[in-house]
Amino acid sequence: MLTNIIYLLLISLILVIGGWSFKALISLAQGKPVKLNLKNPLNLRARWPKDTKESN
């Protein structure tokens, strides 16, 4: 049970680091600066629009 949790954490860590490095390689290939956001490492955003006063 504990080894399964450790493997899950290890796979997740490998995927996050791989995503960071792939994003950095793409940025470098395009000549853009590499930005690293530790609060949102995968750059995930909400898919729904925010409610504004104009829409009501």
- 27-41 residue pLDDT tens: 899 998 887 777 877
Cβ count near 23 (within 10 Å) = 16
pTM: 0.60
Region of 50 (left: φ > 0; alpha: ψ -120 to 50; beta: rest) is: beta
Arithmetic mean of pLDDT, 12-27: 89
Arithmetic mean of pLDDT, 5-31: 91
Percent helix, strand and coil across the chain, each rounded to 5? 50, 0, 50
